Amino acid sequence: MTPSDYPYASPEGAKSWQPESALAPPAPQLDASASKFTLHEPAFVVPTLALIVAMVVLILSVFNATMVPVAVAMEPGPAFAFGLGYMSLLLGSIGGQAAVVTVLAVWGTGPLWQRLVWHWVLVLVAFSAWTFGFVVAMNSQFGRNPDFPEEEFFTVLLGLPLLALACQAVPWMLKFYFNWRIEQEGEDPPAADRRLSIRDMIVGTVVVALTMAAVRIGKPANAAEGSYWMGWLFAVATATGISLVCLVPMVYFTLGVRRAWMGAIEVAALAATVAAVGTILFIMLNPGGPSDKKKRSS
């Protein structure tokens, strides 16, 4: 049989097809050079948001130490208005510190346990500064009550985690149910950063358990069981409401509004509203003012 007898024969010079060569896998190309097997340890990168929050809290903690001494030293007179204004700024500063550490814990980058470490280190720094001023005020010549209230102090200290969880409740819901994130414009983070891992869930469960245990341990011996827990229920509701009314709009106005001037106007309007409400509440709780208190004490 010649090639002319088979019309579909390959022309002369064409490469013949070998089934063995088509089915066999290609031979691996091994390179035994040392550079191919070098292990590079991942570098520890501190999140930018954590550095910004840390600098803000460290700077404002200096003013935290002056809060109680100024409040104790305030007396009726020409300087009372200045002291009241300074106290208002300090209260706003403490609220701002609580807001930024909450943003770091909820919307920061990295594993949950790392964010919680940053969060609580900064909280303890701010609280330590306030405690220093509290101790100085209680032991100074302006202190009206020289006895250090140990039980009340440790009750507040052990209740801080509960208040922190109350402040974080609304932001956590916004993150997981409404997909709120803090990121660079045009950046698309991996899906793993948008949900909690099993490790994060375990860490969260441990944090909640330790928080409730701390609040239980902090109960004063002479406090009634019902009144104690009702007080913390009111504190948690207040912290959650402040987070919803103040923190969430502030985060949206500063980061969610594309026009910076519009966001600045909205932040100023929110701050003015909060200041007005705070002033009204202060007047309602102190209707007579400092001069009236001085008359009643005399």
Percent of the chain with pLDDT over 70: 71
Task: Determine the length of the chain.
Answer: 298
**286 vs 294: CA distance, rounded Å:** 13
Give the pLDDT confidence score for residue 215 in this predicted structure.
92
- Cα–Cα distance between 265 and 256 in angstroms, integer? 14
Q: Which token pair is 80?
A: 């009372």
pLDDT in tens, 64-78: 888 888 887 777 777
Statement: residue 111 has pLDDT above 80: yes
Residue with tokens 């909205």: 266
Q: How far apart are CA 241 and CA 166, in angstroms?
A: 9
For residue 172, the model assigns a pLDDT of 92
Is the pLDDT confidence value at 185 over 70?
A: no
Enter the pTM of the model.
0.71
The pLDDT tens digits for 244-269 are 988 898 888 888 888 888 888 888 88
Averaged pLDDT of the chain: 77
